[in-house]
Amino acid sequence: MVPELGQVALVLALILAVVQSVAPLWGSYTGNRVLMSLAKPAVTGQLVFAAVAFGALTYAFVTHDFSVAFVAGHSNSELPMFYRFGAVWGGHEGSLLLWILVLAIWSVLVAVFSRQMPERFVARVLGVLGVVAVGFLSFTLFTSNPFDRLIPAPVDGQDLNPILQDPALMFHPPLLYIGYVGFAVAFAFAIAALLEGRIDAAWARWTRPWTTAAWLFLTLGISLGSWWAYYELGWGGWWFWDPVENASFLPWLVGTALIHSLAVTEKRGLFKSWTLLLAISAFSLSLLGTFLVRSGILVSVHAFAADPSRGMYILAFMGIVVTVALALYAWRAPSMASDAGFKPLSRETFLLANNILLVIATLLILLGTLYPLFMDALNLGKISVGPPYFDLAFMIPMFPLMLLIGIGLHTMWRQTPSTPVWRKLRIPALAALVIGIPMPLFFYGTAGALTVLGSILAFWVMITAVIDLLPRVGPARLTRSHIGMCVAHFGLGVLILGVTFVSSYDLEVDRAGIPGQPVDLAGYEFTLLGTRGVQGPNFDAIEAEIEVSRDGEFVTTLYPQKRVYRVQRDPITQTAIGGGWRRELLVSMGEPLGDGAWSLRIQYKPLVRYIWLGTIFMALGGVIAISDRRYRLARRRETEPATTGSAPAAAGGQG
Amino acid sequence: MWRYLAAPALFIVLLGFFLVGLFRDPTLVPSPLINQPAPQFELPQLLDPERTLALSDLATGEPVLLNVWATWCVGCRQEHGMLVDISRSGEIPIFGLNWKDDRTAALRWLERLGDPYVAVAVDDDGRVAIDWGVYGSPETFLLDGQGIIRYKHIGPIDQAVWEREFRPRIAQLRQGDS
């Protein structure tokens, strides 16, 4: 019964989504306030029914209802409870349901926190979000119903793919989707602005926290996915430029550009049409990502269902939504162009450079990702584009970007600063050189040109971000939004530091681990003490005990495993990680070599942790920026008109 | 005005490509070499560079597979277990062509994941792969006993591919021989 309940809830959610998209948009043109006021109850109801549907599928997983095809395909009676929850989004149908739920949550949040915005504008935003919801709800119901029954029901399920049975992967898709779908909000704001035919500082101020929120979740989602690939796939890599990874990285890059462009639109009323285009693009790239991942049009390690009817549907939906949005943009944006100018060394110039470089990076990665598809469609043959292209193509815009970040932070809006930037930045520049050049040489002996450059830029970005928080260097009044920016930029520096050092100095060996005989790597000695059989809830494993020491002193003991899940019998290597801030040590087991010996892969990853630490700082910066007073003051001003005293000052401050 | 139309125009072109792409199987490539004698080659072997592997070694009178692989290729990693299983079952001998790869990495790979190959030829600069029309790895060629290419599969081999594409063809070749 419960799956049917979920099914009915999904149908009701679709009906409400249709109401949510048609009524307020219609009402906004006819001036019918009753129709416009339908938006909020419709979106709330849609959330309730989406949650019921999601709950019903979760219930089917928890109670092992294998008569539901999706459950039978992605669970098993031995699957631990924790993973039964996560298995809901462990496959195509369930992840669409998660998409729908997340979109409904975002939409309701917009409805709740929109009191300071004009009624007609809110109606249009919710209407656009409704259109997106209709697209995904009907996609789910008509091509990928998670509640389809299997008759007769199988005795047991086929189990969740073992490599997905991992804590990080439980949280990776939700975070990623919250980010992806969050860009739908910025998209809806942009379309509503185009429908209104005007865009002002208030629009940018409403849009900014939503965009930042989506961006910070996407940041965490991508980061968690990278961390998962790093320790679970056991290859020690943290980014593979796989089409599916690129699909999440492209909206992130454009979202980052959007955050910066929105700042200019809010503070100076410039870049208006450009901001709108970025807002449309960020969400379009999220849709593109969904299409690439779900249609199987590109060959990927993460290859999912390659069902042409599904691909066709998403393509049609994406085609309509994005073409209409871009056509609306081409029609309305020219009249919104801003004509205010700015001086060459003003902050606007640097943010423009930031945007250009980020968009170049986006286009280069998009080109590399889609190139095989273009070649094939033109009958020019099948090719694959690999990391060598992406590494190089990405580095070209990134080096100047890193250099300019530090300068742009210390410039002023509108004008060339009174004290030359150079005078303010010569000490940070010197510090970055003094720390950045010797560090790789001192700790690791040798350093290539790229390593030294990366190291200098990492410290340059970190130092220039931190000093901007100091009195007399940074702005006189520190707003949260400014602090958030500095923290995020500092995080970027930390990330570059990690990337630079781990790419330059990681080491690995594959050796026979013979009990009692140590293997040397990077000054560490790894000794296999022995192996034993271990039983997990749904797998059997052989676990090795490996003692790590350095200069005769005990460091840690690692327990890598070789697992065989009882249903899907492929052996899975569970890497053991000796964590640390200076380096991480990874040991994974290969094949048994007889006499208790095993082939071992041992990896040494210096500073690798800083990659993920950096992304945490970036996300934290986003949180701080969202908590800025002016986003809340604007609302209070609406409800308590008497207390407007300090609001204009705060809104007009630095940021 | 025109610059504002650039974005929608670009997107519509993109849509066209997607539409075409949707009806193509990214893993399917017609090869002009099917039913043609395989291109000649003679390359050093991976395990023992002193020795070479040539096309004549593959024409044993029995069908064989030639698998193009590299350690940098994710799909190869995916199919490797399957190749090991096939070689253990003794169904058909598998030869390898290690494509544009690092020798030590390739040796480590075989040591760690198992070696399903009778012998592996090292195609350092990718010349032989070009002769064979290799677009990407993994690719697997099915050769009959006379060294004629009978089938080519692009992308990783899994159980389903093996049973659907390879097994019937191998059986057919064996029948034709007898």
pLDDT tens figures, A445-504: 888 899 999 999 999 999 999 998 887 777 778 899 999 999 999 999 999 999 999 989
Do the chains contact at B11 and A322, CB–CB below 8 Å? yes
Express each pLDDT in B26-52 by its tens digit. 555 556 677 888 888 999 999 888 899
β-pairing verdict for A597-606 and A583-594? antiparallel
For A377, the closest of B8, B21, B81 (CB atoms) is B21
Amino acid identity at A113: F
Do the chains contact at A295 and B19, CB–CB below 8 Å? no
For A374, the closest of B17, B27, B74 (CB atoms) is B17
- Vertex B98 angle, CA B93 and B99, to 5°: 135
For A301, the closest of B14, B21, B74 (CB atoms) is B74
Pick the residue with more confidence: A242 or A340?
Answer: A242
| Residue B94, helix vs strand vs coil | strand
Q: What is the mean pLDDT of residues B89-105?
A: 89
What's the pTM? 0.81
Closest chain B residue by Cα to residue A292:
B18
* Cα B119 to Cα A275: distance, rounded to the nearest angstrom: 58
Q: What is the mean pLDDT of residues A41-46?
A: 96
Do the chains contact at B26 and A297, CB–CB below 8 Å? yes
Quick check: A55 contacting B, CB < 8 Å? no
Tokens for A206, please give them.
């409403």
* Cα A35 to Cα A33: distance, rounded to the nearest angstrom: 5
Pick the residue with more confidence: A35 or A371?
Answer: A35
pLDDT in the model for residue A599: 86
A 377-396 residues with CB < 8 A to B = 377, 381-384, 386-387
A69-78, A95-104, A298-307, B165-174 — most confident range: A95-104
Task: Judge whether residue A50 has pLDDT over 60.
Answer: yes
- Determine contact, residues A428/A406, Cβ cutoff 8 Å: yes
Q: Which stretches of A233-271 are DSSP H helices?
A: 243-268
Quick check: A199 contacting B, CB < 8 Å? no
Shortest distance between the Cα of B5 and any Cα of chain A, in A, equals 5
DSSP codes joined into one string, B6-44? HHHHHHHHHHHHHHHHHTS-TT----TTTTSBPPP-EEE
Closest chain A residue by Cα to residue B4:
A330
For A330, the closest of B8, B16, B29 (CB atoms) is B8
In a domain, B85, yes or no: yes
A395 confidence band (pLDDT: 50, 70, 90): very high
In a domain, B2, yes or no: no
Do the chains contact at B136 and A323, CB–CB below 8 Å? no
pLDDT in the model for residue B28: 54
Whole-number average pLDDT of chain B? 84
Q: What is the mean pLDDT of residues A344-369?
A: 92
In a domain, B24, yes or no: no
Q: How many CB pairs under 8 A join A and B?
A: 93
In terms of Cβ atoms closer than 10 Å to its own Cβ (0-12, 13-18, 19+), residue A161 is middle
- Determine contact, residues A565/A539, Cβ cutoff 8 Å: yes
* Cα A303 to Cα A297: distance, rounded to the nearest angstrom: 9
Closest chain B residue by Cα to residue A330:
B4
pLDDT in the model for residue A4: 94
pLDDT in the model for residue B31: 61
- Determine contact, residues A556/A569, Cβ cutoff 8 Å: no
In a domain, B18, yes or no: no
Do the chains contact at A590 and B8, CB–CB below 8 Å? no
Pick the residue with more confidence: A359 or B61?
Answer: A359
pLDDT in the model for residue A159: 82
DSSP codes joined into one string, A387-431? HHHHHHHHHHHHHHHHHHHHHHTTS-SSS--SS-HHHHHHHHHHH
In a domain, B74, yes or no: yes
DSSP codes joined into one string, A166-184? SHHHHHHHHHHHHHHHHHH
List the single best residue of B112, B137, B152, B161 to mutate versus A (max A Cβ within 10 A): B112
In a domain, B128, yes or no: yes
Whole-number average pLDDT of chain A? 87
CATH classification at residue B168? 3.40.30.10
Q: What is the mean pLDDT of residues A149-169?
A: 82
Do the chains contact at A334 and B1, CB–CB below 8 Å? yes
Task: Judge whether residue A613 has pLDDT over 50.
Answer: yes
**What residues does each domain of chain A span?**
419-505+609-651, 507-606
For B108, the closest of A312, A319, A510 (CB atoms) is A510
Task: Judge whether residue A205 has pLDDT over 80.
Answer: yes
Question: What are the chain B neighbours of A374 within 8 Å (beta carbons)?
Answer: 17
Closest chain A residue by Cα to residue B115:
A591
Quick check: A374 contacting B, CB < 8 Å? yes
User: Cα-flanking dihedrals φ and ψ of residue A239, to 5°?
Assistant: -155, 130
Question: What are the chain B neighbours of A570 within 8 Å (beta carbons)?
Answer: 81
Spatial CA neighbour of B24 closest among A160, A311, A434: A311
Express as a percent the part of chain A with pLDDT over 90.
56
A654 confidence band (pLDDT: 50, 70, 90): very low
Question: What are the chain B neighbours of A250 within 8 Å (beta carbons)?
Answer: none
- Determine contact, residues A68/A91, Cβ cutoff 8 Å: no
pLDDT in the model for residue A166: 83
A 274-313 residues with CB < 8 A to B = 277, 280-281, 284, 291, 295-299, 301, 308, 311-312
Q: What is the mean pLDDT of residues A321-330?
A: 94
Quick check: A590 contacting B, CB < 8 Å? yes
Shortest distance between the Cα of B112 and any Cα of chain A, in A, equals 5
pLDDT in the model for residue A655: 36
In a domain, B14, yes or no: no
Question: What are the chain B neighbours of A326 within 8 Å (beta carbons)?
Answer: 7-8, 11
* Cα A544 to Cα A530: distance, rounded to the nearest angstrom: 6
Residue whose tokens read 């979740």: A217
Among A30-39, A275-284, A646-655, B75-84, the minimum mean pLDDT is found in A646-655
Q: What is the mean pLDDT of residues A8-26?
A: 96
A651 confidence band (pLDDT: 50, 70, 90): very low
pLDDT in the model for residue A382: 60
Shortest distance between the Cα of B175 and any Cα of chain A, in A, equals 33
A 110-169 residues with CB < 8 A to B = none
Q: What is the mean pLDDT of residues B73-100?
A: 87
In a domain, B100, yes or no: yes
Do the chains contact at B26 and A372, CB–CB below 8 Å? yes
For A376, the closest of B7, B11, B21 (CB atoms) is B21
- What is the tally of structural domains in chain B? 1
β-pairing verdict for A539-550 and A561-565? antiparallel
Closest chain B residue by Cα to residue A323:
B8
Q: What's the ipTM?
A: 0.78
Do the chains contact at A301 and B136, CB–CB below 8 Å? no
* Cα B162 to Cα B81: distance, rounded to the nearest angstrom: 13
Shortest distance between the Cα of A326 and any Cα of chain B, in A, equals 5
List the single best residue of B14, B23, B115 to mutate versus A (max A Cβ within 10 A): B14
Pick the residue with more confidence: B82 or A163?
Answer: B82
Do the chains contact at A299 and B20, CB–CB below 8 Å? no
Question: What are the chain A neighbours of B111 within 8 Å (beta carbons)?
Answer: 510, 590, 599
CA separation, residue A67 to residues A1, A197, A322, A459 (Å): 11, 52, 38, 57
Task: Judge whether residue B175 has pLDDT over 50.
Answer: yes
- The DSSP symbol for A598 reads E
Exposure string (b/e) for B22-32, b if CB count within 10 Å is 16 or more?
beeebbebebe
A17-26, A433-442, A598-607, B158-167 — most confident range: A17-26
Q: Look up the domain containing B131 and give its range.
A: 29-177
Express each pLDDT in A621-634 by its tens digit. 999 999 998 887 65
List the single best residue of A373, A586, A589, A601 to mutate versus B (max B Cβ within 10 A): A373
pLDDT in the model for residue A565: 84
Contacting A with CB below 8 Å, chain B residues are 1, 4-5, 7-8, 11-12, 14-24, 26-27, 29, 72, 74-75, 78, 81, 108, 111-114, 135-136, 154-155
Residue whose tokens read 């009701």: A12
User: Cα-flanking dihedrals φ and ψ of residue B166, to 5°?
Assistant: -90, -50
B7 confidence band (pLDDT: 50, 70, 90): confident
* Cα A127 to Cα A212: distance, rounded to the nearest angstrom: 22
Shortest distance between the Cα of A41 and any Cα of chain B, in A, equals 34
Do the chains contact at B21 and A297, CB–CB below 8 Å? yes
Do the chains contact at B26 and A570, CB–CB below 8 Å? no
Express as a percent the part of chain A with pLDDT over 70.
92
